[in-house]
Amino acid sequence: MDMWKFYDITHREHVVCNPTSEEKLGRLVDLVRLPSDARVVDIACGKGEFLIRLAEACSVSGVGVDISPFCVADAERRLKARVPDSAIVIKEMDGAEFKPDEPHSFTLASCLGASWVFGGHAGTLDALVNMVGPGGWVIAGEPYWLQEPSEDYLQASGLPRDSIGSHAGNVEAGEQRGLELVHTLVSNKDDWDRYEGLQWFASSEYARTHVDDPDVPELVERVSKEKSMYLKWGRDTVSWAIYLFRRRPAEGAGAVSDA
C-alpha cells in the first residue's frame, strides 16, 4: 500500500497531524508573536494548519514543505479557503532537500513531528538553525520516553531504543546548538488518545465505505497492530512535546532578523 495513501486515510479526521491539541497549537501561535513582515517555513507541514494560523494571526509570508501529494493538496485547499490572499506557498518535495534562497533568512523555522526527514532530532535542529536569523524561532515537535521501553515493545514496533530520547535530552540538544529554550507544549494522554483514536476511526470508516479497495485488508491489519501496540505499551511509554527554542541574538544585536 502506498505510504502516503495510508497516511491520508488514517489522518482524514485530523486537523493537526500530530499529538497536539488545537488549543495548544493556538497557544503556540500566540507565543511566537511574529511581526507582519516575518518569513516562516514549516517542514513536513501536513495539512498546513500551523502555517494557516500564523497567516491568519500575523499575515506572515513563507513556505510549507511536504512530500505527500495528499497533504499538499489539503494544505493548498485549506489555505485558499481561509487566507486566500496569503503569501504562503506550499511545495511538494522532500523536506531534507529544501534550502532557503539565503541561509538564516527566516524568522521562524519549524518541523513538528517529522524529525525522520533529517535523520532525527539533532539533525532537525541543525537544519532549522541554518534557516533562521539571530533571535529567530526554531520549533521542533519530538517524542520522548516517559519510561524505559520494554523489549517486547521495541521488538513489536521496530523502534531502536536510541531513536527516541528523554524530555531533558531533547532540550539539551537545542542548548548544545546555541538555542535558548523558552517554552514547551507537552502532550497529555488525552492529546495522544485523540491522535491515535482518530486514526482508528478514519480507517474503520474507510474500510466500511470502500469494500472494493484492494488495499483495505492491509490498512485494517496495520492499524489494528498499531492500535494494539499503543494500548498495550505506547500510551504509558511515549510522550511528545513541542519545543520552542529561540536562536540567541548576535553579540551586540537585540532585534530579530527578518532578512
pLDDT tens readout for residues 125-148: 999 999 999 999 999 999 999 999
What CATH number is associated with residue 204? 3.40.50.150
Is 215 domain-assigned? yes
Is 128 domain-assigned? yes
Report the predicted TM-score, pTM, of the whole model to 2 decimal places. 0.93
Q: What is the pLDDT of residue 251?
A: 54
Confirm if 221 and 203 have CB atoms less than 8 A apart: no
Q: What is the pLDDT of residue 255?
A: 40
Count the domains in the chain: 1
**Helix H or strand E segment including 214:** none
Domain residues for the domain of 83 are 3-244
Q: What does pLDDT average to in each consecutive run of 10 residues of the chain (259 residues)?
A: 97 96 96 94 97 95 97 97 96 96 94 95 97 96 97 95 96 97 98 98 98 98 98 97 92 43
Q: Please, how many CA atoms are within 13 Å of residue 184, restricted to the half-sphere of its CB? A: 17
pLDDT tens readout for residues 86-112: 999 999 999 999 999 898 999 999 999
Euclidean distance between CA atoms 160 and 106, whole angstroms? 33
Is 253 domain-assigned? no
3-state secondary structure of 139: strand
The phi and psi torsions of 34 (rounded to 5 degrees) equal: -75, 145
Q: What is the pLDDT of residue 249?
A: 84
- For residue 100 the three cell numbers come to 532557503
* AA identity, residue 65: V
Is 83 domain-assigned? yes
Euclidean distance between CA atoms 136 and 142, whole angstroms? 19
Is 187 domain-assigned? yes
Is 132 domain-assigned? yes
Q: What is the pLDDT of residue 36?
A: 87
Is 259 domain-assigned? no
Q: What is the pLDDT of residue 224?
A: 98
Q: What is the pLDDT of residue 253?
A: 44
Is 256 domain-assigned? no
Q: DSSP label at 249?
A: P
